[in-house]
Amino acid sequence: MKLQHYINNIEKINEEVVCDIQNRLDNLTKPLGSLGKLEEIVKRLGGILNTSIPKVDKRTIVIMCADNGVTDEGVSSCPKSVTATVTKNFLKGITGINVFSKHTSSDITVVDIGVDDDIQCSDIINRKIRKGTSNMLKGPAMTREEAEKAILIGIEIVKDLKEKGYNLLGTGEMGIGNTTTSSAVAAVLTSSEVEKMVGVGSGLSKAAYKNKIDVIKKSIELNKPDCKDPIDVLSKVGGFDIAGLVGVYLGSAYYKIPVVIDGFISATAALVAIKINPIAKDYIFPSHSSAEPGSKKIMEALGFEPTLNLDMRLGEGTGAALFFNIIDMAVNAYVEMGTFNDANIEPYKPLN
């Protein structure tokens, strides 16, 4: 199906189920609202999954991997080859997300959507559009058709995962130079100064940091992305990994699966998705506040308040995996706590 079909057919979550869950929460043996954000999490989970007893026992982190042509401009302290190396290492079990996913009982789904390498591994999903985007300082990073294709790939990945029984997704990415592309996309969509979006990424010198800012500014000036057209912005100064994650968010909303944002890059993708269809926001959960400078600005634009603040900026989906534990606790408290009737206690009543 065409991309517009998925965009136009995202439905709102079931508010009747949300109300049913609220009623049970108010009858649990606790003061009204005393579980705070955990109550909001379980309500939204139920509304998404269309059940008053939400179950999220099969989860995976979708990691979109791609290279970025803008690395030719010295915006990263790491060579471009690291993208392919780390993508392969995900399957060796030695990366940060491998540890985090192992201890949160989750899988990882690794997608090569644009790595500049001929990766031969049956456990890596090969949906390569081409070997990295073009250098956005020389022209658009990709064509609009390529951007839409990458979004569709993300949607199709979600469809396949739902058919395999997954009921909770997290987002992750791997791509040298993608804090540069994310900063560019986010700066345009939030009408922010580039300096307020850009961080040191994997560790830049002062001179390299200044160069990174200059490259982003010049790329935006050259390509003139239309802030009212998120796909135009994505195609001109974004990356295949970001576009693929946009599809994961839109696909999760279309197929009614809760999905968790990781850090700065995946939050940028969430911003694009919500700009494309605001209803998608109801299906998306923030996890942590990334240490990247632009993260706070994006969260404000999204209207989200991350639960965790650990000064993390690893990416890969690690923050999303951590948040799975919070989701589990929210569901367990809701399902396993007794009611006032069970405990022979008079229900709490709000004071007038």
Structure letter (DSSP) for residue 316: T
CA 76, 79, 81, 87 dihedral sign is negative
Enumerate the H helices of 27-106 as residue ranges.
37-49, 81-89, 96-102
Structure letter (DSSP) for residue 95: S
Residue closest to 318 by CA, chosen among 291, 283, 280, 282 = 291
- Give the span between the Cα atoms of 306 and 121, in whole angstroms: 35
- Give the span between the Cα atoms of 229 and 248, in whole angstroms: 19
Reading the block at residue 262, the tokens are 């990781």
Residue 126 belongs to what H/E stretch? strand 125-126
3-state secondary structure of 202: coil
Enumerate the H helices of 118-239 as residue ranges.
144-163, 178-189, 206-223, 230-237
Residue 174 has φ and ψ, to the nearest 5°, of -150, 125
Cα atoms in the 13 Å half-sphere on the side-chain side of 350: 5
Is residue 278 a contact partner of residue 253, using CB atoms and an 8 Å limit?
no
Active site residue 316: yes
Task: Using only the alpha carbons of the chain, give its radius of gyration.
Answer: 20
- Give the span between the Cα atoms of 291 and 272, in whole angstroms: 20
Is residue 286 a contact partner of residue 267, using CB atoms and an 8 Å limit?
yes
**Amino acid letter, residue 217:** K
Catalytic residue among 39, 146, 292, 316: 316
Q: Which residues are catalytic?
A: 316
